[in-house]
A and B are shown apart, each in its own frame.
Chain A
Amino acid sequence: MPEPTDIRSGLVCVGLNYKTTPVEVRERLAFPEAQVPLAVQQVRGLPGFEESVVLSTCNRVELYATHALPTGKEGHAALRQYLIERFELQPEHAEALVLYNLDSAEAARHLFRVVSGLDSMVLGETEIFGQVKSAYKVALDTGTTSRSLNKLFQQAFTVGKKVRNETTIQRGSTSVGSVAVDLAEKVHDLKECRVMLVGAGEMSRTCAQSLLSRGAKSIIVSNRSYDKAVELATEMKGRAMKFDEWEHALHEVDVIISSTSAPHFVIKPEQIDQVMRKRRWEPLLIIDIAVPRDVDPAVNNIEGVYLYDIDALQAIADEGRRERERQLASCERIIEEQLEKYGFLKSPGSGGLKLA
């Protein structure tokens, strides 16, 4: 049984995120990575402050600190003033600035939710865990954390792992791009996966980028406008192909992402049947994100071919989101249990989320 923590009384968190603040304001208040070490020192250097951690991502800017000021309210005010001065906000912007001001248990609960991905734009996403770890490491290396924040952040990482291990909050895909990656992973070893883009629309670019970022081996881009194919292939370190040649390379790839603006089917069963023979029945994933569709649905009847159109991808992404939402209550319960375990809920008068 861990001993009740003594973090409770002087802990504050002041911040803004994608829910409270539009991107035009968030981008103005973001700390560039290289300036975070200076920022943590500045916060700790504020009168009455003892420790600090600055978390700055594209979706949130949060200052975690401990202080010896008489009230939490004074701590919030000092941090708010720091942000206004640090980013030189005009009085009208400073007045319009919406921040959440959290104390003790609420601040800890918020950090636990953030680390667990419950406060993220994409519920349950795991990237934030690494971002909080990096923010904490910067503060630790700079020497602006001590016993209280060290303990709090270690507890937060434990809670984050517990939430991910004991629930399915991170399971399933919530976007078309991540669904494409999940499907490709269940058909092939991604590291050996060769991808072909037929048509260079925005959505196919997103899917291809998701696949490449997860380790896909190579990419071929074919588009009616050859220049655009070359541009996209260069950007993705792939190979461009003239539009009248893509059919000849079909047997060389494992994933086809099609998004042409053709009014008729461009990929037909008889073509794919030939391709599968040449591929010696190695499985082929076809992602058709064109509307009207590029791929004849009969292609899915060919053995070893797995065809997903935009509706199928969207349905999987929607189900992934619903599945995560169903897990939310379990995650919140784990966090409450951990707050209790670490002694945060024993503090009287831990207020709710306050917006200033």
Chain B
Amino acid sequence: MPPSLQLLLAATLVFVGAVVQALLALKAGAWKRARAQVMLMSLGFALQTGFIYLRGEEVRQCPIRSLPDILVFISWSVVLLYFLLGSSFRLSLLGLFTAPLVALMQGMAFMNGFAPYPPKGPINALVELHIALALISYAAFALACITGVMYLIQERMLKRHHIGGLFYQLPPIQGLAHAIQRTVRLGLLLLSIALGISFALHLPMTKTGHVVFAWIVWALYAVISLLMWKHFTSPRKTAWLAVIGFILPFISLWIVTHA
């Protein structure tokens, strides 16, 4: 196994470990010691970064051109956004919900296998930026999906009067609802910039399937964002939209990379 994949395997195991640690801490009622969780997430992030660097060296370009690489890059962006947004939104337990998704995406990347890239001409920085921004926007949508799951769990416990260990650790539902809105807006902004770059690159829509799918994803999240902004639906429904909505970008990645 090449060193890059060893790093990725280690990162995946660390994220699985973060889930196990969080579940054990919750069961024991010792979640206050969240330092272990942050340390595990940091270690996983460092290992992911190491993988992306080594993989970039192997393929001599930014490793975001095959489904496994894209899945890893999105996972890396999700963890990055977790560090940036989790603390500013005071979203306790975000790591517990982030780590399984990241471990799952990296597991899927492993199953697909990492093939060498075909030889490539000179690197166009704008194209690389366009792809990277689009993928980071997908990571923001992934984080909105995770926050949506947290909202739905907390909402269900409040409605059904199931006041237990997880209830005390999850943030207030109002805060979660606001966090969903902000992450969707952030994703939408990043995707808008990525699509704006595609105009500058004169990428023809008909010949670039990923741009078409990116526009579909953009339209979906624009509608979700509008519904949230104008309060047309309840926060519970928008949380469901954020959760279910992420299925589309996820599927589009698979279609685009296999087309």
Contact = CB atoms under 8 A, between A and B. Distances in A.
Interface of A: 165-168, 171-172, 179, 182-183, 185-189, 280-283, 300, 303-304, 306, 308, 312, 315-316, 319, 327
Interface of B: 29-30, 32-33, 154, 158-159, 161, 163, 165, 167-168, 170, 172-175, 177, 231, 233-237
Contact of A283 (B32, B165, B170, B173): B173
Contact of A171 (B168, B173, B235): B168
A186 B172 contact: yes
B158 to A, nearest CB: 5
A280 B231 CA distance: 6
B234 A186 contact: no
A187 B167 CA distance: 11
Nearest 6 A/B pairs, CB to CB: A168-B29, A280-B231, A303-B234, A281-B234, A306-B158, A316-B163
Given A189-B174, A281-B231, A281-B234, A315 B168 contact: no
Contacts of B29: 167-168, 171, 327
A187 B174 contact: yes
Contacts of A168: 29-30, 165
A282 B236 contact: no
26 contacts: A165-B33, A168-B30, A172-B163, A185-B172, A186-B154, A186-B168, A186-B173, A187-B158, A187-B173, A187-B174, A189-B172, A189-B174, A189-B175, A281-B233, A281-B235, A283-B173, A283-B174, A283-B177, A300-B159, A303-B237, A304-B235, A304-B236, A306-B158, A316-B161, A319-B163, A327-B29
A304 B167 contact: no
A163 to B, nearest CB: 12
Report whether over half of chain B's contact residues are helix, strand or loop; otherwise say mixed: helix
Given A280-B231, A281-B231, A281-B235, A186 B161 contact: no
Contacts of B233: 281
Nearest to B233: A281
A295 to B, nearest CB: 14
A169 B174 CA distance: 28
Contacts of B158: 183, 186-187, 306
A168 B159 CA distance: 24
A253 to B, nearest CB: 14
B161 A303 contact: no
